[in-house]
Structure 1
């Protein structure tokens, strides 16, 4: 089989292979880090006119290994990043705790993003060239410096689009500054529909799957869930293996998202989808229904997540929902009652752990 460039051979003579690998890592370092590692933490502190503690705290918050203060560990790009962090305090007036929170968000997100993308590249190399896992990883390592600028440009574009989307939502939601507020003292700040969709029998369906089939199965679930949520006007907060947490800005949008998830994720996996995912084992094929619960209430948005009693209630409603159905609470049902697109049916009273007695309401789409 022909490769665009030579593939590292794991069976090659070990000393030569290790030397070649070390050389490759040095080249990647120079390409990604803006040159060689030639600065110590003390150098960075002196260059930015900040304390050594600031440099070390920034680096720890970014989630990266903590070097000795006198090790030549940092590159030109690292020095620039430290300088920008210091400028957020010095020139923009941000509190140091805020800068560290922003840095922690970057570290947490970029760590997961980098791993996610590299694993996707490994899977691509493995399947496209019929390579074992080790050889595929070595091939990705060999090509990383070439791929990085394209991935970086896409990251910056996506990030700016997401910031613009947030600005647009804020303008639409809070633009009328003259209207009387309806917030109660001490209430959580954001009114949101929040819900969960949890895959039924995930453990049974994935038992015995190999890495390729398991990856395809989880990717299919996450991709379809995201498509349904965004198409209906909601946003995915996070996915947790066999579950997805979503939010929406209105109760009606939340209802459309919830019903869409219950419907779309219970359909039969067609042949073309299975082939596109690389084929699925028999146990992973067929209907993969979800239980859905959602609540209209007030939440706190922090750390890329949402918190509050309505989040907990939505999770508990999801736990007791039947497959391919949506449950809401009575308050949410009352808000939706005037919308002809929805039908609400009270269910038997249930005792929910940590929440007490609740009357669940099943949400349906109006027939026809």
Structure 2
């Protein structure tokens, strides 16, 4: 039977996360992680971390390459490869150091939040409320706009999601091309964050947004969020009108708000009608 470390590196090679020349270095790093004092990482844990690092490396590396290509576009074709190599060699150490700082800070912030939940008597992996905030008309907008305008819209969406998450102490789980996923064990805080994000997008973009909120058990894997409430929140956001937030009845069981009105809807992919509370961002 193959050594777990060999299985892990073979799997990472198959996924394209590492290259053949990286195997020796990865083996050394995996051994270091396994042998660190007070640290015990199973193969499952190591693979999840590798997936997260692979996703992060793809994004950070692609962003760096995009900048390099734009900056060097004026050079003669035969000079570009060497210039790109010099640019990456000079810039990437700063990027790596910054990423290390941000990654360590986020790991500490998130672990404190989750350990705090466990200290309050809640399960370490409790059900949570999930909100998906979705821009309306983004496809038509992007078909008719310049790359710069699309990039500006994406920047505003990221800023709005981060600001709403920070203001209400919820997690910005993931960002998509025209939406953001917010997560919290506290439905009231999550609803407040979703309402702020929807209202802010209406003020800061030409588009409007709607949102869906669902409750349930999520699966956290490689720094990402999956599971029924994630899918349901996205489906509710699809049918929400502009400036509207639809909250599934299961989430409203944990949030008593007399201002809500109620509606029965049939989201895409859901076999039966769902009872939802309807809120507006204003």
Could you tell me the TM-score, scaled by structure 1's length? 0.65
* Aligned residue in 2 for 1:345: 261
Q: 1:118 aligns with which of 48, 65, 87?
A: 65
Distance 2:238 2:9 in 1: 45
* Shift, 1:155, TM fit: 0.7
Contact 1:293 1:326 in 2 (8 A): yes
Q: Matches of 2:15 and 2:35 in 1, distance apart?
A: 19
Deviation at 1:223, TM superposition (A): 2.5
Give a deviation string over 1:137-165, Cα, whole Å, max 9, x none.
97554322111121111011001101110
Equivalent runs, 1:195-206 vs 2, <5 Å: 195-206=131-142
Does 163-172 or 349-358 show the bigger shift?
349-358
Q: Which residue of 2 aligns with 1:83?
A: 28
Structure ranking higher on relative contact order (CA contacts 8 Å, 6+ apart): 2
Structure 1 unaligned runs (5+)? 1-48, 68-72, 270-286
Q: Decide whether the 8 Å contact of 2:5 with 2:27 is kept in 1.
A: no
Give the number of aligned pairs: 276
User: What TM-score does the superposition give when structure 2 sets the normalisation length?
Assistant: 0.83
Q: Alpha carbon RMSD of aligned pairs, Å?
A: 3.2
Following the alignment from structure 1 to structure 2, what is the Cα–Cα distance between the partners of residues 64 and 57? 9
1:174-213 equivalence runs, <5 A: 174-176=118-120, 179=121, 189-213=125-149
Q: Structure 1 CA distance, aligned partners of 2:101 and 2:8? A: 30
1:259 lines up with 2:195 in the alignment? yes
1:64 matched to 2:15? The reply is: no
Q: Is the 8 A contact 2:266 2:273 kept in 1?
A: yes
- The secondary structure found in structure 2 opposite 1:343 is coil
Change (3 A) 1:81 1:205: same
> Which of these residues, 331, 345, 352, is aligned with residue 250 of structure 2?
331
Q: Counterpart in 2 of 1:170?
A: 114
Task: Give the aligned partner of residue 220 of structure 2.
Answer: 301
Long gaps (5+) in structure 2:
none
| Partner residue in 2 for 1:31 | none
Check if 1:95 corresponds to 2:42. Answer: yes
In the alignment, which residue of structure 2 is the partner of 1:108?
55
Q: Secondary structure at the match of 1:291?
A: strand
Structure 1 190/301 Cα, relative in aligned 2: closer, same or farther at 3 Å? farther
Output the CA distance in 2 between the equivalents of 1:131 and 1:229.
40
Q: Is residue 151 from structure 1 mapped to residue 95 from structure 2 by the alignment? A: yes
